[in-house]
Chain A
Amino acid sequence: MARLKDTVPFYLQKQEVRMKNLLLRVLPLFLIFCLLCPMTAFADTGGSGNIDGGGGGMGQGTSTNSWSPGNEGVRVTVVRASDHAVVTTPFDFTNKAPSAGIYHFGKVSKLQYNNGVSLNPVKGGYIYKNPGQTMPRIISTNGSNNIEAIKKYFCSEYVVKRIAEITGMNYDVLIGGKYKILLEPLAYYKFEGNMFATTATEAALYDEQTSGLLRRRMVSLTHKNLPLAMFLEVSDLGYPAWGGSKTSAATNADIKSSLGLGIVRFEKTPEEPQIEAYDYEYRVNTNVITAVRVSGGQSDPDSPTRVSFNIGGQTYSVGNVYYPDGDSQLAWVKWKTPDTEQNMTIAVTVSGPGSTAKTTLNVKIVDLDKNTPPNPVADDRNDSFSRASVPSRAVKSTASWSVWRPWWQEYWVWHGDDEDGYWCDHGWYEFDLDRYSASLTADMSIQCDSKNPTASGTVMKSGYGINQTVTGSISSNQSSAVTQPQNAVSYFPEFGYETYWRLLERMGTGRFEFQKNPYSTYKNRTHFSPIWMPDGAYTVNTWLIDAWTPDGMLSANLTDSLTIKGNLWQDWHAGPLKP
């Protein structure tokens, strides 16, 4: 162990034998330790996740692609616990002084990348903080377990006070329990002759940008030791616990979704993990997309992977699913849901190389065309009405996915003599990553019903009806992999935006209106505001859904308002006829 000093290049082969011997001694002790100490933790900063496998795990370094242990840091972001919002600009702690002209991607946290922020490289101008009390080793390469030191350091009053000072947050507010500190290990390394500073998430995103070149050059650091330096043991801040391999290189998808993060909290009770009963929830009679991620081995046209989905007795096969060794590929199928509510089980089978983590998908299919508001009557009253705020609903306006596209790299070799010789292709498949995205634009407007005799612009008396128009469209550079929004459902203030709703009727691609109202004299596409509605804004909330992509459903939570002034009775009164 003493030989593993910072100045020793990590890739020296001599260490392999020593490390394996060391591992053989340490591993049984570690296993006994694990058995004796039940894990009650939820954030693991590298302990069990940092079992690197010892020497030999870092691959071959070169003069243009290398990393030395200790060239590392931690990106620190303060996050609000209630809604996982990033509340301070992230900053980087390090014990080092990174070299001038280092390439980096600014100060962006994992949460922000997962919300769609893209990589934005800058050369130089890298800002960092050297804590007076030096950080313990973060990225382990030799199987040593440094978790206790990392925990002790980042949970200490000293470090939390520094975080409060740097971010400008009040220390007492920071430790009050409403905020959490997101930690991301980062590494300084040489890639293709240039120095880079990246977190694990940035490395995965950058690897996609380079079609896998970063992984090919730096796999042991960027796809193994860096992302596995920190991960969660129980889900938190919307990130799942990591249940995959803790010793082998991870895929970009796994790194982005689950690796390279630790969380410091200040409340005693942990956040309840969200248990998803269903993998997908769809509406009836809707074109949808179901996707699974396939990884393991290499899939290319000579040895292709094929994914089959058995849906309601019908088998859908998906082909041309390719990926390079060590990476993964999303495979998806487009299908139409049945027209009745039900729970379905989709069996997924993979033939050829690779496998999928989930071989059974639980799907819930719901019918929203129910619970329409009751017949409004003239003597309706609601003296205890209080306005509710429009609830937040699942919203996703952009989605991104990628497709590994293989291409044949020829490598011609001559066999035999000149006269009866021949060229033979000893080539191989290379892979490029084609990236695709989709974005949803949506709008809604409500108007006073055309039969309202006293409406004036957006002002009307309560008791009259309103009409609605909702538009939504999805644009994508892979139109075959998306569906246009197919359902919209409206909620109303008089019901507190729950209890009753109206499923809108599709009037054309991406256009929706109220269904015809059976209580309307003219059978208009209308919703009647209650006659007791107090003066003020009348805000309707519409959730536009079922725009499907391989990356999940795009949706929009829309609102529009009219103004209520007076009520319908003021337009209808009885009086004596003039003589």
Chain B
Amino acid sequence: MKNMNPKMKKWLAVAGGLALCAVLVVLIGQRFQTPKPVDAPLPSQSSEVSDVTVDPSEPDSTEKEKEVVVTPPDTTQPVSTDNGAVSSGTEQTIQGDVSKPEYTEEQLQDPTQKPNGEKVTEPPAAVEHDKVEQPKETPKQESSSKPSSGGNSIPGFDNVPDGGANHGEVVDGDGDINKQVGIMD
């Protein structure tokens, strides 16, 4: 600052003053700016009002700025986890993946038990690969396939109610069996 000549100091003082004035003008000016319209005063609803005109060509210019924007909800379903299905994108599935159980080499070569842990009482009889016959009656695991066992149980339903004795009757009467009244052609 000592190196500055008095002329330079004077110009700096004037420039600073001007800048301060400009800031003040802006701040003061903002105070005088018209505020955004709040709720337009609504005409009081009374039976005394005699004349109301609505110009539909200028619908509520005063309320435009207050318009609430409703963002449409995103209805895209998330990737589901209910049965493993994938329901978005271009690679979809209707259920999860299915896989076979996998076993180690040791399990596959252990003659004392099957790889799934089932014990073998006798040494297994060797069968040639292409002479294996699958059982006709599949040992199905699901309860729905169990044959009925006691009670009123049938495949797919347990505790079926008892309806009692059957009731049949012969229905007969007049009417010509050879006279056609309906159409079934």
Q: List the interface of chain A (C-beta within 8 A of B).
A: 40-43, 45, 64, 97-100, 102-103, 119, 121-133, 151-162, 165-166, 175, 181, 191-194, 196, 206, 209-211, 213-214, 262-268, 287, 301, 314-322, 329-334, 336, 375, 403, 405-418, 421-428, 430, 432, 434, 436, 451, 453, 477-484, 486, 505-509, 518-523, 550, 571-575
B167 at the interface (CB under 8 A from A): yes
A134 → B minimal CB distance (Å): 10
Judge whether A484 and B75 touch: CB under 8 Å. yes
Helix, strand, loop or mixed for chain A's interface? Answer: mixed
Interface presence of B180 (CB below 8 A): yes
Chain A CB within 8 A of B83 CB: yes
B165 pairs with A483, CB closer than 8 A: no
A543 to chain B, nearest CB (A): 18
A123 touches B77 (CB 8 A): no
Q: Are B92 and A333 in contact (CB under 8 A)?
A: yes
Please judge, given known A-B contacts A158-B175, A165-B171, A181-B182, whether A478 and B90 are in contact too, CB under 8 Å. no
Which residues on A sit within 8 Å (CB–CB) of B109? Answer: 421-423
- CB of A93 to closest CB in B, whole Å: 8
**Which B residues lie within 8 Å of A156 (CB)?**
175-182
Contact flag A132-B70 (CB < 8 Å), given A265-B183, A403-B95: no
Query: In the assembled complex, which residues on chain A have CB atoms less than 8 Å from the CB atom of B181?
Result: 155-157, 160, 175, 266
Max chain A CB contacts within 10 Å: which of B92, B141, B165, B168?
Answer: B92
Residues of B within 8 A of A123 (CB): 152, 160-163
Q: Are A571 and B144 in contact (CB under 8 A)?
A: no
A421 touches B60 (CB 8 A): no
Main secondary structure of the interface of B (DSSP, over half): loop
Asked whether A133 and B177 contact (CB < 8 A) given A100-B166, A301-B98, A405-B98, the answer is yes
A430 partner, pick from B83, B140, B162, B179, beta carbons under 8 A:
B140
Contact A155 B184 (CB under 8 A): yes
Given contacts A161-B173, A413-B132, A424-B129, contact A320 B96 (CB under 8 A): yes
Q: B142–A121 contact, CB under 8 A?
A: no
Q: Are A318 and B168 in contact (CB under 8 A)?
A: no
Return the chain A residue nearest B168 by Cβ: A128
Which of B70, B72, B87, B185 contacts A334, CB < 8 Å?
B87
* 15 further A-B pairs in the complex, CB-CB below 8 A; given A157-B179, A157-B181: A64-B147, A128-B167, A129-B169, A130-B171, A153-B177, A162-B175, A191-B154, A192-B155, A334-B87, A418-B123, A423-B124, A424-B132, A478-B80, A480-B80, A507-B70
Residues of A contacting B98 in the complex (Cβ-Cβ under 8 angstroms): 301, 320, 322, 405-408
Across the interface, which residues of B come within 8 angstroms of A426, CB to CB?
132, 134
| Chain A nearest CB, measured from B173 CB (Å) | 6
B101: chain A residues within 8 A (beta carbon): 408, 410
The 8 Å CB contact of B94, one of A331, A375, A418, is A331
B residues in contact with A521, CB < 8 Å:
54, 60
Give the docked Cα–Cα distance between A301 and B98 (Å). Answer: 7
Which residues from A are CB-within-8-Å of B95?
A: 320, 322, 403, 405, 434
Q: Would you call A414 and B125 a contact (CB within 8 A)?
A: yes
Bound Cα distance from A418 to B112, whole angstroms: 10
Known: A123-B161, A156-B178. A483 touches B168 (CB 8 A): no
The answer to whether A158 touches B87, judged by C-beta atoms less than 8 angstroms apart, is no
- Establish whether residues A409 and B63, one from each chain, have CB atoms under 8 Å apart when the complex forms: no
The closest CB in chain A to the CB of B178 belongs to A156
Residues of A contacting B180 in the complex (Cβ-Cβ under 8 angstroms): 152, 155-157
Residues of chain B at the chain A interface (Cβ within 8 Å) = 42, 45-47, 49-52, 54, 56, 59-60, 63, 67, 70, 72-73, 75-77, 79-80, 82-83, 85-88, 90-101, 103, 107-111, 114-116, 118, 123-129, 132, 134-135, 138-142, 144-145, 147-148, 152, 154-157, 160-185
Choose from B80, B90, B116, B148 the contact partner of A315 (Cβ within 8 Å): B90
- From A42, A477, A481, give the contact of B185 (CB < 8 A): A42
A508–B155 alpha-carbon span in the complex (Å): 45
**Which residues on A sit within 8 Å (CB–CB) of B97?**
301, 320
Once the chains bind, are A480 and B87 in contact (CB under 8 Å)? yes
B171 to A: closest C-beta gap in Å: 5
Q: Closest 5 A-B residue pairs measured CB to CB?
A: A125-B163, A480-B80, A132-B172, A414-B124, A155-B182
List 21 A-B residue pairs with CB atoms under 8 Å apart, sorted by A's residue number: A122-B160, A123-B152, A129-B171, A131-B172, A158-B177, A209-B156, A265-B184, A266-B181, A320-B96, A334-B92, A411-B134, A422-B108, A423-B115, A423-B124, A430-B138, A434-B95, A451-B45, A478-B83, A483-B77, A519-B56, A572-B47
B145 touches A125 (CB 8 A): no
A210→B171 contact, CB < 8 A:
no
**Distance (Å) between the CB of B97 and the closest chain A CB?**
7
Q: Are B170 and A132 in contact (CB under 8 A)?
A: yes
Residues A320 and B160 in contact, CB atoms below 8 Å apart: no
| B87-A192 in contact (CB<8A) | no
The one of B92, B111, B162, B166 in contact with A128, judged by C-beta atoms closer than 8 angstroms, is B166
How far is it, in angstroms, between the C-alpha of A213 and the C-alpha of B67 when the chains are bound?
Answer: 62
Task: Choose among A40, A99, A124, A432 the residue that contacts B162 (Cβ–Cβ < 8 A).
Answer: A124
Contact A157 B156 (CB under 8 A): no
A518 near B59 with CB under 8 A, answer yes
Q: Which chain B residues lie closer than 8 Å to A434 at the CB level?
A: 83, 95
Q: Are A213 and B170 in contact (CB under 8 A)?
A: no
Whether A210 and B156, one on each chain, are in contact in the complex, defined by CB atoms closer than 8 angstroms, is: yes
